[in-house]
Structure formats: C-alpha cells, structure tokens
Amino acid sequence: MKYRAAIVIFAGAAAAAMVLMAVWLAAPYFASDPLELLAAEPPSRRYFDAAGVWVHSESAPGWRWRFDVPLARVSPEARQVMLAAEDIDFYRHGGVDYPAVLRAAAQNLLHGKIVSGASTITMQLAGLSLERKRGSFTRKFVQAARARKLELLYSKDRIFGEYLNRIPFGGQLYGIEAASLFYFGRPAAELNTAEASLLCGLPQKPNFYRPDRHLDRARLRQKRVLGLLSRHGVLTMEEAGRLYDMKYLRFRNFKLPPQFMELARPDENTHFFQVETRLTPAAGDIQTRLDSELQAQLLILLRRRASAAGCRDAAAAVVENTTGRLIALVGTLDFARAGDGEVNAALAVRSAGSTLKPFIYAAALDAGFITPLSPLDDAPVDYGGYAPGNFDGIYRGRVSAQEALSYSLNTPAVRLLARLGEKRMTDTLKRFGLCGSVASSNGLALALGSAGYRLTDLVCAYCRLFSGQGGGVSHSASLAVAQMLRSRPLAGTAFPAAWKTGTSNNGCDAWCFAGTPEYTLGVWLGNKSGERVHNLTGAGAAAPAAGEIVELLYSRRPFPAWPPASDFLVEELLCAASGLAPGTNCVKRVAGPALRGLPPARCRQCGVKVEPIRIIEPGPGMYMAGASGFVELALAASRPVKWLIDGKMAGEKTSYRFAPGRHRVTAIPEAPAEPVWIEFGVTPAAAIKSTLD
C-alpha cells in the first residue's frame, strides 16, 4: 500500500511539474512584447540650431528626461561597467538566470515575500513594461515570461541598448544619455570607467543613490561597483582605488528659455513659418533654422532699446524670405522674471497701429484704384462722425501715394479703405495670413490699426509682401509696395531696407517691420501688461531697433540687390490728376509708373461735373421701419456709393435692417465727391415689429 501511494504521489508530482513546465514554455507566446509597450513612451525632444548645435531640450511626458542613443553611442567602458554591475552573464544566459532564480526563490520562501529579484538585464527591461506595483508572485511570473519573450524576439545588443535607454538614474532622469549629460555634462559616448562606475550603480535604487542629492550614498555604491569590476577581473584593486579618487561630477541643467522652440514643436507648429522640423536619426531630435548668434545679439539689443524707450518689454522675430522660416525670435527680455517673464510677447495679440496700411495700398494697387505715384488728398475727412486726423495733426494736401504711405498719413489711407470696402480689405488681409481680430474691428478704423495681431502674424504678412509671394495680392503690387516703403531711409542703417512703423493709439505699442531682399523682421516695444509708455512711438523706439537688426544681418555679408523696378513696374502715360489711365477728358498727361501686367483703371474724375450727392432715403428725423424691418437706402441721383452705417461698412446694399435708436448713415461715392451723411432715428415700436417678422 505504502508503495502504491508513493507511486501516486510521484506520478501526481510529475504531472504537476509537467503542467508547470508546459505553462512556463508556453508563457512567452502569450506574453506581450515589452518593447512594443515601451515604445509608447517617447524620448525627450532635443532642438538643434542651423549650425547643428544642441540648443534646447524639452522633457518627455511625465517630466521625464530621456534621450535615445544607439548602443554604439554608449562608450565601451560604460557598457562593460553596466554589465559587471547588473548582469555579468547577460550575453550568455537566456534572459532568466535560473541559479539566481532558485537562490532568490529560496530566500523569498524563507521570508514569505519577495526580497530578492534575481533580475537580469532582460528581466529589468521587462519589468519596466509592467505597472509600477511591486511584490506579487504573479507579477514576477509575467515579468519572467516577458523577459523570455524579449530573448526570443530580439538580439542581445537590442535588449541591452533598450535597457540603457530606459532604466532610471534618479529624479526624472531615464536612460544613460540623459543621466550622463546631467551628471557629467557629456554624452554617454564619452563616459570613462570612473564616471561609468558611479553612473551604473544608480539604477539599482535610483532615488536612494542619486548623486545630486545623496553623494555619500552614491559613492558607497560606486565603491561596491568598483569592487565587482575588480572581482570580475576588469580592473585591478589599485586601478579601482585610483578611479574612486577621481573628480568628475558637473551637474548641468539642459533646459533653456523655450520660446523659439515652442514654435518648433512639430505637433504644435500651426504657424505660418516653418521652423524646419527634420527629425534626425535619434528619435526626438529636431533640427531648426535658429541662428543662435543672431538670437543672442537680438536679446542684448532689445534689452538696451527697451530700457532706452522706458518700457519693460520687447519682442522681435526674423524670418527668411525665400523659405518663410524663422531664424530668430525673442519673446521676452527676462525669462526668469517673476509674473510675466515666461509670457511670449511675440505671440500676444496687440493693437497693430499703422502697420496695416501697406496692405491697404497693396490692395488698392492690385484693384487698379491707384498707381504708385497717384496724387491722393491728405485733407480732413468725416465719415458720419468718424474723423481721423494725422499723427502730427498736419494735413499735407495733395501727396503721392508713395509719400502718403511712407509718411503714414491717415486720411488718404482711410479714403482708400472706404473705396475698397471692408470685404475686399478683409479678404486681402486674410490672404496675407492676417485673419486675427479683423471682424471685431470697426470698419474704417482698420486703416489706423484698431485690429489686433500677433507680432509673428505681422512678420509673416510682411514677409509675403516683401518677397512678392504668398497670394495676398499680385506679385507686382506687393513688390511696388515694398519699393514705396523704402523711399525713405530707415533709422540706424545705411542699407536700403523697406520699413513701416506703427504706434497704437494710446502709446502702448511701438512697432517696426523691416525687409531686405533676404529677410523680414519685426520689432515690438511696450509693456506686456499693456501699461502705457510715455512718448513711445514706432518711429522713435522701434525703427532704430529694426535698423540695428538690419545692420546685424549684414555685418559680415553684402546687402543683395532688390529686384529691379522693371520687374514689377512699366512706364506709362497717365492722367496727371489721378495717376490712372487717361480718359478722353483728361487734359494733362504725364509719364509715370504703372504695375507690370496690371493696367490701371481709367480715370473717371476729369471733366465730370461734380454734383454733390444727397441722401433722400432715409430722411433725417424719426423713421418708422417697414414691416420687414428694413429701411431703403437711396440717393437723389443714381451713382455708385458704398454705405457706412454708424461708422461700419455696409457695402453697396440698398436696404438695411436697423435696430431701434439713433443712427448715422453715410454715403461714400466713388471719386471724386466727398461723402455725405445724415442722422435719423428708428422708433422702438417699428423695431419690435420688425423682430417679429
């Protein structure tokens, strides 16, 4: 009986062992691939400037610092030390070190819980793919199964490489490259045995040993690693002692002010300019077009200019015309300043001042309304109460379009905009990439920059203008405007830059945009808080800064020639009074520039008997709207006009739905007559009725 029982027990045990064996052999085929799971954790990003210099880094999700390097870019010394410290038999075992497992199992049974991991490098890598929770036997089994999966699927070098790239080294440092850079200020490719003996001891208990906090513990651990190295015959005791006494820690912070880089993020770069984002062989590496030297010079220059202008903040951006790529961007003068130091002023929406005027002229040229030297009136205007004056309060009478633009006169720009109409203007701005807050702007006030834009948007628009590309207007119209904008020299430089300044109404913002045949740049000065600055103007503060930047760009290279005028202008016989194609009534004709490929409109103002226009519908006084709620708009004579209701463009419609209250209606004729306006009221009763319709 005893004998038979023994057989049953033995057979049972054998069967159980075989089942366990089968489960163990089959386990890897059911286990997940740890590398597939780990691939979901991206490395940190590194940014390189145009010269290939590493200029900035960004942590990976979870604030981790981890840079991928191929195994060949980890020094042989570091690889050897890591193997000696963690898993000397790595290249010989099958992922699980069975003698060590048995030893650990015995210890664990003795203590009733896991005290020893028997972790090979493969096991540790598999462990990284598991959730943080530690300690259960099931977890250990899954880890071992995944380790065997790794050994089945991948080469030893691949496993070791992934391990080196992912193990923790204390704090937020993961992988040997980030750890080497942070603790020693050099890449893992340059690690020597002394440095490696400190570094490779850390993964065992990374936060306990991290040398930036607990150098004494790290040194003790290093001593043990050096002991292992001499035990494995890698070093003699003397060498180990000598290495222990070497000094090498150089902690380094690789986080720099990120504002240029914010725009370089491939997933967030919705910007006009391409901050070239070529992903280099190492995942997470980003190649930008940043000119580091120019960037550093810009910051110094802007700090000096802001201080001279009496403001706290400034911003600037420089873009390459041919590619539209950003090469320098300053968004803050002091990134570390408490409060708004990190705010990127180059991305803040601010009142654009007169900087939009060139786009009005570009649209007017494109529409054939003017030629570059067309005479325009600089005289008071009043569009139903909207009566902008000039910056200096002086009206210059008859001026050429070029003078009107280069001196930034308000009334000719407002007249042009009134003729263009709001829709045509906003369409043009949109094609220049300026769609920001036009909709909220008040019609004609747009000419004077009531709309808000970001510095980067405006630099983009100017880049398109100066380069004659970008679809805003025709090639000739944009190049003609660029030429008009260089008719006066820019302060601070002898180079023939095209430029335009702007000042927001209350002296909060000073702007200057400048262009060369190769680059477009923008400068803003003011306070991020929006606080007013005494005597701050675009011409006084921003233009000299822009001139200085042009000088910087051409300090060591020749200033290239602008495209010749014959590329975009042709000499034509024009009416002297309008600068347009002469009609039969035009008495005086002169030769003047017209756009190539864009014949100017025929002059309609000469010989026309100027009849004052008169609004007959609606009449002044109170008015009762019809059942539809609409009021007809009508003139005494049939002439093309644009209507302005309460200072806002209403286009060429002939009826309009009015809200109750007082209204101003202005009729703006095509040249040559002045606009007229009336005031009238709509009774609330009619309005109520109209809203019921």
Q: Closest approach of Cβ 380 to Zn ion, in Å?
A: 24
Nearer to Zn ion, 416 or 686 (CB): 416
Q: Closest approach of Cβ 587 to Zn ion, in Å?
A: 8
Of 163, 191, 161, which is closest to residue 72 (Cα–Cα)?
161
Q: Closest approach of Cβ 602 to Zn ion, in Å?
A: 9
Tokens 């606009």 locate to 675
Nearer to Zn ion, 309 or 603 (CB): 603
Q: What are phi and psi of 483, to 5 degrees?
A: -70, -40
> What is d(CA 381, CA 416) in angstroms, rounded to the nearest whole number?
12
Q: Closest approach of Cβ 387 to Zn ion, in Å?
A: 28
Q: Which stretch binds Zn ion (CB under 5 A): 5-13, 329-337, 605-613, 679-687?
A: 605-613
Q: Which stretch binds Zn ion (CB under 5 A): 24-32, 306-314, 520-528, 573-581?
A: 573-581
Q: Which stretch binds Zn ion (CB under 5 A): 95-103, 433-441, 601-609, 623-631?
A: 601-609
Report whether 282 contacts 187 (CB < 8 A).
Answer: no
Q: Closest approach of Cβ 583 to Zn ion, in Å?
A: 6
Of 474, 484, 486, 487, which is closest to residue 599 (Cα–Cα)?
474
Q: What is the largest CA-CA distance in the chain?
A: 137
Q: Which stretch binds Zn ion (CB under 5 A): 14-22, 329-337, 545-553, 569-577?
A: 569-577
Q: Closest approach of Cβ 600 to Zn ion, in Å?
A: 11
Q: Which stretch binds Zn ion (CB under 5 A): 62-70, 78-86, 595-603, 625-633?
A: 595-603
Report whether 662 contacts 569 (CB < 8 A).
Answer: no
Start-end of H helices in 129-192: 137-153, 156-166, 176-184
Q: Which stretch binds Zn ion (CB under 5 A): 256-264, 341-349, 574-582, 660-668?
A: 574-582
Q: Residues 6 or more apart from 314 whose CB is under 8 A from it?
A: 302, 303, 305, 306, 330, 333, 345, 523, 524, 525, 526, 545
Of these, 243, 306, 381, 575, which contacts Zn ion (CB under 5 A)?
Answer: 575
Nearer to Zn ion, 85 or 575 (CB): 575
Q: Which stretch binds Zn ion (CB under 5 A): 77-85, 602-610, 631-639, 672-680?
A: 602-610
Tokens 């991206």 locate to 42
Q: Closest approach of Cβ 571 to Zn ion, in Å?
A: 18
Query: Binders of Zn ion among 19-38, rule CB under 5 A?
Result: none
Question: Is 577 an interacting residue with respect to Zn ion (CB under 5 A)?
Answer: yes
Nearer to Zn ion, 476 or 578 (CB): 578
Nearer to Zn ion, 381 or 575 (CB): 575
> Contacts by 26-29 with C-beta closer than 8 Å and gap 24+?
27/141, 27/144, 27/145, 27/148, 28/145, 28/146, 28/148, 28/149, 28/152, 29/149
Nearer to Zn ion, 357 or 415 (CB): 415
Nearer to Zn ion, 308 or 587 (CB): 587
**How many CA atoms lie less than 13 Å away from 501 in the CB half-sphere?**
26
Of these, 83, 603, 667, 678, which contacts Zn ion (CB under 5 A)?
Answer: 603
Question: Is 376 an interacting residue with respect to Zn ion (CB under 5 A)?
Answer: no
Q: Closest approach of Cβ 607 to Zn ion, in Å?
A: 8
- Crossing angle (nearest 10°) for helices 455-467 and 475-484: 110
Q: Which stretch binds Zn ion (CB under 5 A): 369-377, 536-544, 571-579, 617-625?
A: 571-579
Report whether 481 contacts 365 (CB < 8 A).
Answer: yes
Q: Which stretch binds Zn ion (CB under 5 A): 42-50, 578-586, 624-632, 673-681?
A: 578-586
Strands 519-526 vs 509-515: parallel, antiparallel or unpaired: antiparallel
Tokens of 536: 């701050």
Tokens of 308: 């001279």
Nearer to Zn ion, 463 or 577 (CB): 577
Tokens of 596: 């190539």
Nearer to Zn ion, 367 or 603 (CB): 603
Of 284, 303, 67, 265, which is closest to residue 276 (Cα–Cα)?
265
Count of residues touching Zn ion (by CB under 5 A): 6
Q: Closest approach of Cβ 564 to Zn ion, in Å?
A: 29
Question: Is 606 an interacting residue with respect to Zn ion (CB under 5 A)?
Answer: yes
DSSP letters spanning 250-298: ---------HHHHTT-TTT--SSS----EEPSSTTEEE----HHHHHHH
Cα 526 to chain centroid, rounded: 21
> Contacts by 267-272 with C-beta closer than 8 Å and gap 24+?
271/326, 271/456, 271/460, 272/324, 272/433, 272/456, 272/457, 272/460, 272/463
Nearer to Zn ion, 374 or 527 (CB): 374
Q: Closest approach of Cβ 351 to Zn ion, in Å?
A: 38
Q: Closest approach of Cβ 477 to Zn ion, in Å?
A: 21
Binding to Zn ion by CB under 5 A, coded x per residue (else -) over 524-563, reads ----------------------------------------
> What is d(CA 330, CA 345) in angstroms, rounded to the nearest whole number?
8
Beta bridge partners of 593: 571
Nearer to Zn ion, 390 or 605 (CB): 605
Site of interaction with Zn ion (CB under 5 A): 575, 577-578, 586, 603, 606
